[in-house]
Amino acid sequence: MIRAYAQSDRRAWDTKLPQLAFALRTAINDSTGESPTFLMFGREPRLSIDVLFGSINPSDDHPANDRNVRVYRDRLTANLLPAFHFVREHLEIAQQNQRSSYDIVEMCILSWSIL
């Protein structure tokens, strides 16, 4: 991935690593169906445009008092639990697909070694 990204500017590829890391962390993963950032923090990151023009959802800002902390925690839990179950199901499906692919390759290798 880094090699493909660095094709446009071979001398400054290392300065572009933060942008590449951000893109990878916010991209939807095929196996999980969620972005790594959402799974880690329970929400998508605030982008520069959000900071510049203000958040679309004001509740995304950090809570200020104890009541807001409880509300934030409850909302975070409500977001993460369904995501956790969703990801677990998708990972099991991905593992089954990978296992099937491995078994097919293994069978081909065994059949070729017998010949």
Q: What is the pLDDT of residues 3-47, one digit of tens each?
A: 777 777 777 778 878 888 888 888 988 888 888 988 888 878 877
- φ and ψ at residue 44, rounded to 5 degrees: -80, 155
Q: What is the pLDDT of residues 62-113, one digit of tens each?
A: 555 677 767 877 888 888 888 888 888 988 999 999 999 999 998 888 888 7
pLDDT of residue 57: 58
Instruction: State the DSSP code for 30.
Output: T
Task: Please give the full DSSP string across 34-86, using - where no structure is assigned.
Answer: S-HHHHHHSSPPPPHHHHHH--SSGGGSPP-SHHHHHHHHHHHHHHHHHHHHH
Residues in the chain: 115
